[in-house]
Structure 1
Amino acid sequence: MASQLLVGCESLHYPWQKAPAPAGPGDTVATTETPDAGAQCPEPVEVVCAEPEVKVVERVIERRFEKVVEVPVAKDKLVLGAVETVAVEPGGLILDSVIDTGSSTSSLSARELTPFERDGKDWVRFKLELPGSKNEDPLTLELPIKRQVRVSRPGFDSQRRPVVEMSLTVGDVTHMVEVNLTDRSSSEYLMLIGRNFLKDAAVVDVSRRNVQGAPKLPNTK
């Protein structure tokens, strides 16, 4: 191909140049020597085109979808917050209590638990610290033991607790439920309301507190 280009380059004439007339029989053809015959046409140069730079742009599109699920709530059920005020009987205590759907039974803070027997049945004597009454003597109660329950918590040794029956009032709802007795003085709340009070009676909205306000004790007259 290079030789063809050279031949084509030597025979190339621009439009404004006239091609030399052919020589006749008696004409003398003048020849002009060129120092370098190859200078009439430049050497072919191989041109290598650089590949175009391709930039890859990664575009990540993140979409988040929120799904709202509406759960119907029965009109006759009590709506409770994470903490509610509870009236405890016997004892006449009014306590701010934590609502715990993870506990099967309710729990009350009691100290100096002393089991004893009365009329052939097991009873327990215990003391209740009245909130805000550090200078007063604790309230002493005696109740029959319904049963014993063993409670296990992660990171703690299992405990055997006596279970008694007590009347709990939240809002205008009062239930007689089983309550296990243990020392909860290290906890923020002395009373814990478990599922045995909540079952079939209340639903819990953990984003709220004190929804029911002060408990309304039933009229005992």
Structure 2
Amino acid sequence: MRTSPLILLLLAPLMAGCESLHFPWQKSTPAVIESGPPAEAAAAREAAQQCPPVQEVVCAEPEVKVVERVIERTYEKVVEVPVAKDKLVLGSVETVAIEPGGLLLESLIDTGAPTSSLSVTELKPFERDGKEWVRFKVGAGDEDDGVSVELPVKRYVRVARPGFETQRRPVVNMSLTVGDVTHMVEVNLTDRTSLDYRLLVGRNFLKDAAVVDVSRRKVQGQPRPPQPK
């Protein structure tokens, strides 16, 4: 049996133990020249074929920067100032002088009432010079018989209170003095003897004249009516 020269050419390197055999379609690899004893060379080849050992990689912790923030707080400063230099400061209760009558009455200052109201007894209407008048008594206390006063009726008002019947009250002009301030205002007349205060000072006196501090009482002290000239 005859062997082809091409086959002999390919088998010759294998028979010679050459490791540099490669086929024409493969890329040639440069030969590695080993030095040293055969045992060391074999150990080097085996080590080269093994995977490198796994090494633990520890990442450095990120740097944390602490930024100090200073928050400024603004506090409101309360400063007491007068509401108005030309106005009275009244408490919830003040002593009021009334004219005619010349009486001093401990009175309730009521910003919710549109007009002032006075407690009277023996209220009787009558006619004088063709005009309607009223005669009544007003006193400073339960044991006081009171003084008799006669005044012309300016008009009538109807007052409705919860739990009470609607009242038709006569309205007269009277002079009220609180502290150093005196005003002629409309006052409606009714029986307030069951209430704590005989006189209720409403907004018609307070308007443009006074401000009320409900936490205080008798701020103005004794009234000082103007002296007759």
Q: Shorter-normalised TM-score: what interval?
A: 0.5 to 0.7
Question: What is the 5 A alignment of 1:1-221?
Answer: 73-131=83-141, 134=143, 137-221=145-229
Separation in 2, partners of 1:137, 1:183: 14
CA RMSD, aligned part only? 2.0
2:205 is paired with a residue of what secondary structure?
Answer: helix
The percentage of counterpart residues that share the same residue type is 74
Separation in 1, partners of 2:113, 2:80: 26
Separation in 2, partners of 1:112, 1:217: 27
Code of the aligned partner of 1:131: G
Question: How many residue pairs are counted as aligned between the two chains?
Answer: 154
Match of residue 17 from structure 1: none
Q: Indicate if the aligned counterparts of 1:130 and 1:139 stay in contact, CA closer than 8 A.
A: no
- Once the two structures are TM-superposed, the CA of residue 156 in structure 1 deviates from its matched residue by 1.3
Separation in 2, partners of 1:208, 1:137: 31
Separation in 1, partners of 2:123, 2:133: 10
Unmatched 5+ stretches in structure 1: 1-65
- Once the two structures are TM-superposed, the CA of residue 90 in structure 1 deviates from its matched residue by 0.3
Normalising by structure 2, report the TM-score: 0.64
1:197 is paired with a residue of what secondary structure?
Answer: helix
Normalising by structure 1, report the TM-score: 0.66
Code of the aligned partner of 1:165: N
Code of the aligned partner of 1:96: E
Bigger Cα Rg: 2
Q: Indicate if the aligned counterparts of 2:103 and 2:139 stay in contact, CA closer than 8 A.
A: no
- Once the two structures are TM-superposed, the CA of residue 74 in structure 1 deviates from its matched residue by 1.2
Code of the aligned partner of 1:182: T
